[in-house]
Chains A and B, each alone.
Chain A
Amino acid sequence: MVEHKNNDKTFLGFWIYLMTDLIMFAVLFATFAVLRNNTFTGPSGEEIFNLPFVLAETLILLTSSFTCGLAVLAARKGDKKQLYSWLLGTLFLGFAFLFMELSEFQELIHEGYTWTKSAFLSSYFTLIGTHGLHIAVGLFWLIILLIKLSTSEINSSIIRKLTLFSLFWHFLDIVWIFIFSIVYLIA
């Protein structure tokens, strides 16, 4: 009973942390919404966005969120091999997403549209950059989990950590959906 009790304490605590992160993203969305037209001689949204590329990114992140869910199920079933494969899938898709995003940034900077150009570009880089940073932290966390998994059998604390990670990963995917809709589609 004690095991279960402090289990849902951790979940509630982590969930409230996720909510504070959501509010931070809300502030970034509000700032982006207010500053999206202040392009100030710099390029506006349509000119610099490449929609098919972003669609690919969205699909990749969606699938990695899906594989992460399956990984948790595999962990609950205790099937270590399946768990490993799904986690590696999530890891690979996560890195693919991060790589595509960084290459998009690199291309923008190469063309001279850096964040010092205009308020719109500043808020664009910050919103996408913060999300990218969260993805990087998530991937780093996943690598730590994989190392931990290799050294010990599947026990309740591993499952707890995995479920926490999957909450974080789903949360990131939801934030990306809103980025995809508000930043890219509306532009």
Chain B
Amino acid sequence: MKNTSETNSYIIGFSLALLLTLTAYFTVVNNFLDGGILVAAIMLLAFLQLFVQASFFLHLWQEKNPRWNLLVFLSTFSIIVLVVIGSLWIMNNLDYRHDNTHEGVQKILEKEGFSR
């Protein structure tokens, strides 16, 4: 009895994940959207699939308290967001400040026949 409900949860999870992957794929291939919105859409679909897999495959939300697994997952998730967003913010800011493609260097590159 209990197992059939679990197999159903796996089946639902699998089909949802399949759906999300295909939608992401086709939005890119037939470029329904582009530029910033496309990136946002892809990331949204990725996080949705994360949510689907976590709830259907890892049963993260049905954990009885004290829900250490969930707490550890959320703290790790915040560390990941910190690492990726933090690095991107700092490195892009540094690259912007250390801009070296101004006209002086450009002139040298053209003179040597190198295109950037």
Interface, chain A (partner B; CB < 8 A): 11-12, 15-16, 19, 22-23, 26-27, 29-31, 33-34, 51, 55, 58-59, 62-63, 65-66, 69-70, 73, 76-77, 167, 170, 173-174, 177-178, 180-182, 185-186
A26 CB contacts on chain B under 8 angstroms: 79-80, 83-84
B46 CB contacts on chain A under 8 angstroms: 177-178, 181-182
B76 CB contacts on chain A under 8 angstroms: 19, 22-23
Taken together as a complex, chains A and B put the C-alpha atoms of A70 and B8 apart, in Å, by: 10
A-B interface, 9 closest residue pairs, ranked by CB to CB distance from nearest: A26-B80, A19-B76, A181-B46, A30-B87, A66-B14, A69-B10, A170-B57, A34-B91, A26-B83
Taken together as a complex, chains A and B put the C-alpha atoms of A12 and B67 apart, in Å, by: 10
Complex A-B: 30 CB contacts under 8 Å: A12-B69, A23-B79, A23-B80, A26-B84, A30-B83, A30-B88, A34-B87, A51-B25, A55-B21, A62-B18, A65-B14, A65-B57, A66-B10, A66-B13, A66-B14, A69-B13, A69-B14, A69-B57, A73-B7, A73-B10, A77-B3, A170-B53, A170-B57, A174-B49, A174-B50, A180-B21, A180-B24, A181-B24, A181-B43, A186-B42
Taken together as a complex, chains A and B put the C-alpha atoms of A19 and B79 apart, in Å, by: 10
For chain B, the count of residues having a C-beta within 8 Å of the partner chain is 37
The dominant DSSP class at the A interface is: helix
B37 at the interface (CB under 8 A from A): no
Interface, chain B (partner A; CB < 8 A): 3, 6-7, 10, 13-14, 17-18, 21, 24-25, 28-29, 38-39, 42-43, 45-46, 49-50, 53-54, 57-58, 68-69, 72-73, 76, 79-80, 83-84, 87-88, 91
B25 CB contacts on chain A under 8 angstroms: 51, 55, 185
B84 and A33 form a contact (CB under 8 A) = yes
B43 CB contacts on chain A under 8 angstroms: 181-182
Taken together as a complex, chains A and B put the C-alpha atoms of A63 and B17 apart, in Å, by: 10
Looking at the complex, which one of B17, B18, B42, B57 makes contact with A181 (CB distance below 8 Å)? Answer: B42
B21 and A59 form a contact (CB under 8 A) = yes
